[in-house]
């Protein structure tokens, strides 16, 4: 009961506060950063373990600087996601620009469906504006939260502009339906999530560590011969991002196993190494360890 009451209080407060412009909301973000880093020490142990393991050549001073920048970004990200409640399409398009959209236009002209890969890097949630910037139907693939109320809340935010969020378990069904209706789609996957231990099928080296990765991107792409693109998300300044479309593979049918997975994992790693403060280091990305095979 308390959970339900708390949720509706959160929704009411969010609806009211996010009427404020972002420049004002960033004041709350500055306060949230202080709370997360200095008072709550939110997952600080996880953050520093992840950073040390990923960058063994960096000094403690360098890691400390990355961590503080990350917490500042995390606070901004929280505010920016909630701000979508009242953000107009005009403001959204002003804050998110795209480079190389001609890649998607060329694929659309060829009637090609697309799998897009990106990471928990910068503000991946603002990709939703792509729906009104191309002729594609955008279907972000998500892993449902255990809390159904918050899950529905986030889905509501993601559905703005006609975006079509699809649960991971339903993506094949949706692709088949859209193909029958001759609707060209971009199925977007945040590719750096941690598979459940029962779902691990492949391990690779990512950020200096043995890492379990989902192979769903390549399975979907190869099954339907979809093109694969990567979204490089750069922060221009606070509250402004540019997303660059990079074609990784045009045709995918018949490609060697794990080539697509290795390619997009290494591409994301390159992005993170360039500006590590914008990746979500508080995520327990390496909670599963690769089994040691004796003999």
| DSSP per position, 28-48 | HHHHHHHIIIIIS-TTHHHHH
What is the chain's Cα-based Rg?
A: 19
- State both tokens at 55: 């960058």
Give Cα separations from 5 to 2, 136, 150, 154 (angstroms).
5, 39, 13, 18
Look at residue 257 in the predicted model and tell me its pLDDT.
96
CA atoms within 13 A on the CB side of 94: 7
Look at residue 3 in the predicted model and tell me its pLDDT.
78
- State both tokens at 279: 């990746």
DSSP character at residue 255: P
Asked if residue 185 lies in contact with residue 139, where contact means CB atoms within 8 angstroms, the answer is: yes
Look at residue 2 in the predicted model and tell me its pLDDT.
53
Look at residue 294 in the predicted model and tell me its pLDDT.
62
Look at residue 6 in the predicted model and tell me its pLDDT.
87
> Considering only CA atoms, which of 234, 273, 228 is closest in space to residue 246?
228
Look at residue 15 in the predicted model and tell me its pLDDT.
96
Instruction: Classify residue 90 as exposed, middle or buried by CB count within 10 Å of its CB (0-12, 13-18, 19+).
Output: exposed
Give Cα separations from 24 to 27, 31, 137 (angstroms).
6, 12, 33
Phi, psi torsion values for 61, nearest 5 degrees: -65, -45
Phi, psi torsion values for 87, nearest 5 degrees: -75, 130
Buried b (16+ CB within 10 A) or exposed e, 65-87: ebbeebbbbbbbbebbbbbbbeb
Asked if residue 172 lies in contact with residue 124, where contact means CB atoms within 8 angstroms, the answer is: no
Asked if residue 251 lies in contact with residue 112, where contact means CB atoms within 8 angstroms, the answer is: no
**Mean pLDDT, the chain cut into blocks of 10 residues (295 residues total):** 81 96 98 98 98 98 98 98 96 98 98 97 97 95 90 92 94 96 97 92 97 96 97 98 98 97 98 98 95 70
Phi, psi torsion values for 2, nearest 5 degrees: -65, -35
Look at residue 291 in the predicted model and tell me its pLDDT.
87
């Amino acid at each position: 009961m308390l959970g339900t009451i708390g949720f509706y209080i959160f929704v009411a407060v969010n609806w009211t506060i996010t009427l404020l412009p972002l420049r004002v909301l960033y004041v709350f973000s500055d306060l949230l950063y202080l709370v997360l880093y200095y008072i709550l020490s939110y997952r600080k142990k996880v953050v520093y373990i992840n950073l040390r393991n990923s960058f063994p050549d960096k000094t403690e001073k360098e890691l400390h600087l990355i961590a503080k920048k990350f917490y500042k970004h995390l606070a901004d990200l929280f505010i920016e996601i909630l701000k979508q409640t009242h953000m107009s399409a005009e403001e959204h398009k002003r804050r998110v620009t795209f480079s190389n959209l001609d890649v998607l236009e060329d694929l659309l002209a060829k009637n090609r469906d697309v799998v897009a890969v990106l990471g928990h890097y910068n503000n991946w949630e603002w990709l939703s504006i792509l729906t009104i910037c191309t002729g594609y139907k955008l279907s972000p693939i998500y892993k449902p939260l255990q809390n159904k109320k918050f899950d529905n809340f986030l889905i509501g935010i993601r559905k703005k502009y006609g975006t079509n969020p699809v649960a991971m378990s339903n993506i094949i069904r949706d692709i088949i339906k859209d193909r029958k209706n001759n609707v060209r789609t971009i199925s977007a996957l945040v590719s750096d999530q941690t598979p459940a231990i029962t779902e691990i099928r492949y391990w690779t080296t990512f950020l200096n560590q043995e890492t379990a990765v989902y192979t769903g991107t390549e399975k979907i792409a190869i099954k339907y011969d979809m093109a694969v693109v990567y979204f490089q998300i750069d922060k221009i300044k606070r509250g402004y991002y540019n997303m660059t479309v990079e074609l990784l593979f045009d045709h995918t049918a018949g490609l060697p196993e794990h080539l697509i997975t290795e390619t997009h994992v290494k591409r994301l790693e390159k992005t993170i190494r360039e500006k590590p403060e914008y990746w979500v280091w508080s995520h327990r990305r390496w909670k599963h360890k690769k089994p040691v095979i004796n003999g």
